[in-house]
Structure 1
Amino acid sequence: METLNILGTGCAMVTKCYNTCFTISDGHEHFLVDTGGGNTVLSNLEKLNIDINKIHHVFVSHRHNDHIMGVIWIIRAVAQQIINNKYEGSLIIYCHKDNIEAIKTIASLLLEKKFTKCFGERIIFNEIYDRCKTTILKWDIEFFDIRSTKQLQFGFTTMLANGKKITFLGDEPYREELFEYANNADYLLHEAFCLYSQKDIFKPYEKHHVTVKDACENATRLNAKTIIMYHTEDKNIENRKKLYTEEGMEFFEGNILVPDDLDIINL
C-alpha cells in the first residue's frame, strides 16, 4: 500500500513540532520530500520505522533552512552506512542547481571528508528544472516551478499506482499558472500557515503564506478530492486538527486532512 508518512508539519520557527517534510512510500522504499531544518528528521524516520537504507531518493524543494538543512544529516547517515557496507545502491538528491551548490558547500564545511567523498559516486545530485520529468521508485514525477516571488521553489505531481493524482504545491500560495498540475488532484498538498480568523495575529500574507480559508477555497476551485494542509504555526498545536478542519469545512466540501507529526496517511 502507498502511504504518506508525515515527518513534520510546521513552518520555519516552530518549536512544538518539526518543520514540514514527509515521505511517499510504496511499502518497501521511501521518497523523502524535504528534510526540515535539523537532525529531528533522523529521529522521526526512526519513530516511523523508516530505515535510512530504504531511502534512495530525496527532493529538496527550495533553499530555506527549514527545508534544506536536514539533508546534511541524511547525507551523513547514508554516507556512514556506505562506509559500513550496509547501504545498497546510490542516494539521489533532486533539486535546482543553485541548491546543489549550497548543499555541497554546507556539507564541505560541516562534514568530514570521509562523508563528502561519496559525492558523485554513491551520493548523486540530480538537477531539476521547470517541467522536468523523472521516474522515482514506481512513480513518474513531474517537477514544476511554483512561481515563488521570494525564493525559487519547486513542487511536483504524479499518479500513484492506484491511479490517484497527488500534487505537492510547496509552501507558498497557489498560483493560477499551476492549474494543470493541481486540477482534479485526488490529494492536494497545500500550505496553510494559520486560521483565517487569526490572520491578524500571524500575518500570513506578509510572510508569503495563506490561511486555511484560502487553501480550502483553492481546493474547491481545483476540484480536489482531499486537501492535506501543512506548514502551519504551532501556537494552536493541541487543537490544530479540530480548528483547521472546522474552518476548512466552511469553504471545501471534500476530505480535509490536517496531519500531526508522525501520522501515516493511506493513499
Structure 2
Amino acid sequence: MKLTILGTGNAIATRCYNTCFAVQDHGQTLLVDAGGGNEILRRLPATGIAINDLHTMFVTHKHIDHLLGVIWIVRVVTMNMLKGTYDGDFTIYSHDEVVDLITYMSTHLLTGKQAALIGDRLHLIPLKDGESFCGAGHKITVFDIHSTKAKQFGFVMDLGGGRHLTCCGDEPCPKSAEKLAAGSEWMLHEAFCRYCDRETYKPYEKHHSTVKDACELAERLKVPNLILYHTEDHHIADRKALYGAEGRQYYSGRLEIPDDLEGFYILSD
C-alpha cells in the first residue's frame, strides 16, 4: 500500500498545500480531503494519480482548507462523466454536515447536467460515528473526534493481520478514540508547531497539538510509525530537522515529517 501526502500545511499555510493525502492499494485509490483550492488538480497527477482513477473519497470536516478542493474534484469528475471519459461512479463519504455542504455547492456551483449526476453516478454518503466503508480495498471505520470547532471524523483503516492505520483528523486524538488508535501500525496526527514555539503560534488556542504532544501520545499508545502534518509553514526549509529533533525527545518509534508530495510504502494484506 502506498500513502502519498499531497499537502502538509495548516489552514493559512502558503508555502505548502493544505493537509490532504491519498491511499493506493488493491488497484484502488482513496483520497482523504482535498485542501483549499484547485491546486489539488495539479498535485494528483504530479504523484501519478489520475483523477479519472479516483472513485472513493473521504472528507474529515467542513473547514475550507479541507473542503474547497472537493468541489474542484467533483467538477472535473462530473465533467469527465458527461464527456464519456470517466468510467464508473464516484463516491464521497463524510458526516451529514459535510455531505449537505457538498450537495449544496454542487447544486449551486456546477452546471445543471453535472448536478443531475448526484444520486446517479455521484454518490454523497453520510456516515455516523462508528460506521464503516470500503476504501482502497480496506475496511475503514470512522470516529467522531468531538471537536468544539466543527464536527469532524477521524478513521481507523484495517490493514489486515490485526494491523491498523489511524488518521486523527486535524485536531488532537480525543480520549474517546485512544482505545481505537492504541497499537496502530501507523498514525497520522496534526502538529501545528513545535512545543518550543507554542507562544508564537498559539496552537492550544486553535485546538491543535505541538510536536511534543503528538509524540507523547504516539509513545503512550505504542504506535511504531508516526506521521506529523498540518503544520505552520515558516520552517519549511528545515522543518524535518527541527520537528524531528523535538519529537525524538518524546517518541522512540519511526517519526516522519513529510514534505508535500512525499510517499510511504506500508505493509498491508
| 1:40-82 residue CA offsets vs partner (Å, 9 max, x unmatched) | 1111001011011111111110010001111100001111111
Aligned residues: 266
* SS in structure 2 of the partner of residue 160 of structure 1: strand
* Aligned twin of 1:190: 189
| 1:75-103 residue CA offsets vs partner (Å, 9 max, x unmatched) | 01111111121211110000111211111
CA distance in 1, matches of 2:237, 2:109: 36
* SS in structure 2 of the partner of residue 181 of structure 1: helix
* Aligned twin of 2:40: 41
* Aligned twin of 2:259: 260
* Aligned twin of 1:160: 159
Cα offset for 1:139?
A: 0.4
CA distance in 1, matches of 2:105, 2:80: 20
Cα offset for 1:207?
A: 0.5
* Aligned twin of 1:11: 10
Cα offset for 1:163?
A: 5.4
Letter in 1 for 2:43: N
CA distance in 2, matches of 1:72, 1:162: 36
Q: Matches of residues 1-267 of structure 1 in structure 2 within 5 Å? A: 2-26=1-25, 28-161=27-160, 164-267=163-266
Cα offset for 1:134?
A: 2.0
Equivalent pair of 1:172/1:210 in contact (CA under 8 Å)? yes
RMSD: 1.2
Cα offset for 1:162?
A: 6.7
Equivalent pair of 1:158/1:166 in contact (CA under 8 Å)? yes
Cα offset for 1:110?
A: 2.0
* SS in structure 1 of the partner of residue 14 of structure 2: coil
Letter in 2 for 1:9: T
Q: Larger deviation: 112-121 or 31-40?
A: 112-121
Letter in 2 for 1:160: L
* SS in structure 1 of the partner of residue 76 of structure 2: helix
* SS in structure 1 of the partner of residue 44 of structure 2: helix
Letter in 2 for 1:231: H
Compared CA separation, residues 27 and 240, structure 1 to 2 (3 A): farther
Letter in 2 for 1:141: I
| 1:134-161 residue CA offsets vs partner (Å, 9 max, x unmatched) | 2223101101101112111000001225
% identical equivalent positions: 43
Alignment TM-score, normalising by the size of structure 1: 0.97
Equivalent pair of 1:3/1:27 in contact (CA under 8 Å)? no
CA distance in 1, matches of 2:160, 2:78: 31
CA distance in 1, matches of 2:14, 2:109: 24
* SS in structure 1 of the partner of residue 12 of structure 2: coil
| 1:173-208 residue CA offsets vs partner (Å, 9 max, x unmatched) | 122111122100110111000000100100000011
